[in-house]
Structure 1
Amino acid sequence: MAIYKFSCPDCLKQFDTESDIAWKADQKASVNCLVGKQPKCTVVCLGISEPRPQPPVGESSGAAAPPPVSSTPTILLDEPVSATKRVAYLEVQGMDGGILRLTIGEGRVQTFGRKSDFDLSDHPILTDDKKMSRLHFQIDSRMHNKQPSYIVSDLGSVHGTRLTRQLINGVTSIQLYASKEDKQAHDGICLEPDDLIMAGSTILRFAVDRVSSSDFSMSDTPDQTNYDPNRTTVF
């Protein structure tokens, strides 16, 4: 347990607090701030706080003086931002109206397609969409500049894969095919949050969430079995 000095740019104050986390200088953390300006602040660690000076040995300190009243806000530290984990997934509306979540694992190439008696993909999707192939598209998760990226490619599906992205100046739509020589189209597009993937007539939304590393487990990962039938998603 060490005492660290933090700076809160939202409250324009500095404060010391004990923590069993090994903080580094300039490391940021999300906090619950009780000063009342806003529920969440982002504070910056300034390093280990200097110990308070002690009275000289043998010098009588007299009666204990009451501690000075501090104007430092009481702040409860959460986990540092670096202690969170990215969870990427696709959302698709199921046949019963619920929203299915298909998790995209990091550092892997995963395939998606229509569920059948002989599943060919890593994520078979139960749908009556005959335009979706049993092996329709893939997402390659790889590290780029120390950040995960997710690259979608068509796998030679009959009806192709279309990517739709909302931009500031409108909407862009890109057709993906596996064979550029035959169909002269783009392939291998890096996904951005809220991109829409159309596989056949089925629309899937790409999303990325952050969860606490201490709370993360594979059982908590969004999957096809976890959906809310009362939730409505506008694609």
Structure 2
Amino acid sequence: MPGSTITPMRRSAVPWLYGLSVLLAVVSPLVFLGVWVADGTLEGVGAALLAAVADLVAAALAAIVATVLAAQRGVRRVRTVVLGHPDGRSGRLGEHRAARWALARDRFAALQRDYAAFESDPRAVAARPALVDVSVPTTEAFVEALADAQVLATPTEPGDPRREEFVAAVDRAVAAWDEARRYADAVAPRMSAPGSTPPHPAETRPPSALPPRHGTPVDEYAAVADAVKQAAARGMRDLRGRLRA
């Protein structure tokens, strides 16, 4: 899962590389003598010298690689101490986002359980009939928010931006569920009366500070509202089937 764990520091090869570098430097004279003696001629000095130089080059390369690895390891340790993560700020952000996704996944699962428990309890449905009526705006908003979160849910942690979109969708779904329950509790006595209809949520909310919107025909509003209600009703039926499966 991207960004969900801290990359552990493995055992370093730096000491072994430094040791190899020292060993190659120490045996360089022996390599020179060995090649010269093996050749047995004065002309073998050139070949022996070339072998010794190659040995020293190998020793230098081992020392350079060890130094680079040591520097990288030191940088990771400094980042861990100063920034709290061996990969620095990006690592911390990735870890934070991974934790937020895991928390959102658990919150969404809890929300699904709560809603499924409510749907399967006839007494709870009778006590809050507005929560099963998609013509109620708060219930409609909750069903839409729940469906949005369901679409973005994945069994394993996704990458960005879907990860952040899922977290935001869960926040909206939880907030919509809380609002729908508050409204259902507020209108439950009035909906329990025979022949009563649920009041509009505006009757139980403080007036909005936003200016009213003008210039849209009433029939257009009605058509849009009817289409939204029909879509919400279909979404509610599909969602109930998934939750009960």
TM-score w.r.t. the length of structure 2 is 0.22
Bigger Cα Rg: 2
Q: Tell which has more relative contact order, 1 or 2 (C-alpha 8 A, sep 6+).
A: 2
More helix by share: 2
